[in-house]
Structure 1
Amino acid sequence: MLPHAHRCTLLACACALLAACSPFAPPPTASPPAAPVTAPAMQVPQWQQPGVRVLHISAQESLLTITVRRGGALARLGHDHVIASRTLQGVVAPATGRAQFEFRLDEMSVDEEGLRQAAGLTTTPSADAIAGTRHNMLLRVLDAERYPWVRIAARRTGEKEVLEADITLHGVTRTVQLPVRITQTADGSGLQASGSLLLKQSDFGIVPFAVLGGAMAVQDQMELAFRITARQEFSAPGSGASPGR
């Protein structure tokens, strides 16, 4: 039997983990803020040849979310989480059925209240739990300093409303079938694509976060959903398009 002092220490450690209401522990308070990183311009896709009309993704009208859910024997003590990107950049070529876009992991938000409600998540993580989730997601799970970008290259297939997409995450590229609904924007000046997909973190070499021997963990499966708007706002190099047209 453990001495009383040791039992108290173990209990205190367990309570500290559970109090975060998340399988991710809060970040160290002494950590300095990360220096801002200037995002480089996206490389022009090889398929973007002179004369090919392209639309540019409108970041302020686009949203990509990833929902990760809790698992393990103590899952009831944790939270599910919604991670979101509102900084998508990329191009779409409607005539050739091609698209390419990307976003930075360190620009993603965690657990916006409105997105949690939209996803049907009923628990309310604390500000500390949210900060801890973001910190450990970037540093300990996704290794965002080494792999800062998520890149997706999609192309039309013979099947209606299904794209073939190469998703690059954590330095690993996987090809998936991506169901998508494409419509014209209300003003007729662009296109909007929406859809959802189930992915596994382990398919990209990511080990889902877990503590207490897996009693509190993040499930391997994650739910990706997107709504992307693209418009012809300006001329891209080699596109043959004119501004405003």
Structure 2
Amino acid sequence: MRSRILLSPKYTNLWIPLILGAIVSVPAWAQEHPIDTASSKLTVRAFKTGLFSGFADNHEIQAPITEGSIDEAAGRVKFAVDSRRMKVLDPQMNPSRRQEVQERMLGPEVLDSTRFLQITFDSTSVERSKDLYVVHGQLSLHGVTRPIAVNVRSESGRYKGTFTLKQRDFGIAPISIAGGTVKVKDELQIEFDIRTAP
């Protein structure tokens, strides 16, 4: 009997505004905000090692984020990088040498970007303490998915941090030349500065 009363036209006019009011009153921050890919940066740094490493170069690589979103309230972060658009910067390097490094990075020895088009991250949990976060999630790279944890700090609407990963963990053998006397370290340093769109 009670349900019939609530569903009658007389009472419908009462509960519809209440429901709409509850929806409208949800805070704006409790939403998924797209990442501003134009103003966000993700940089990979590869370092040299080996007996004759003094004759080799460290590498700075741009890894543009193509899509993604952040939802602070839900503790959710996800983004994707198009591996084919990753670019070796190395401003001090000879242009022809830089092009060689670029082609080798995108080729089958390293990223194999024609097979593995995307690098993705999808968070599983987020721990927060004031403006600091520890983001746990799954990183997929070179056809391998592994759990990682990243320390993130929030600064004026931007999310910044640095973490490291090992190439071998994702099935990539660090490049080695001259019989191993010059090679790239297994460990890469990843720096990010991510901003959400208004």
> What TM-score does the superposition give when structure 2 sets the normalisation length?
0.78
* Percent identical: 27
What is the identity, as a one-letter code, of the residue corresponding to 2:147? T
- The equivalences for 1:97-176 within 5 A come to 97-111=75-89, 113=91, 124-139=92-107, 140-158=109-127, 160=129, 161-176=133-148
Q: Distance in 2 between matches of 1:95 and 1:155?
A: 14
Structure number with higher relative contact order (C-alpha < 8 Å, ≥ 6 residues apart) = 1
Q: Alpha carbon RMSD of aligned pairs, Å?
A: 1.5
Residue 179 of structure 2 is matched in structure 1 by 213
Q: Deviation per CA, 1:34-76, whole angstroms, max 9, x where unpaired?
A: xxxxxxxxxxxxxxxxxx6210111111000010011111111
| Partner-residue secondary structure (3-state), 2:147 | strand
Residue 198 of structure 1 is matched in structure 2 by 164
Q: What is the aligned length? A: 165
- The equivalences for 1:21-100 within 5 A come to 53-100=31-78
**Structure 1 residues not aligned, in runs of 5+:** 1-51, 114-123, 186-191, 233-245
**Structure 2 residues not aligned, in runs of 5+:** 1-29
| Partner-residue secondary structure (3-state), 1:199 | strand
Q: Deviation per CA, 1:7-54, whole angstroms, max 9, x where unpaired?
A: xxxxxxxxxxxxxxxxxxxxxxxxxxxxxxxxxxxxxxxxxxxxx621
Instruction: Choose 1 or 2 for highest CA Rg.
Output: 2
Q: Deviation per CA, 1:125-176, whole angstroms, max 9, x where unpaired?
A: 1101110111001102111111121001124434531110211100111111
By percentage of residues, which structure has more strand?
2
Q: Distance in 2 between matches of 1:148 and 1:73?
A: 34
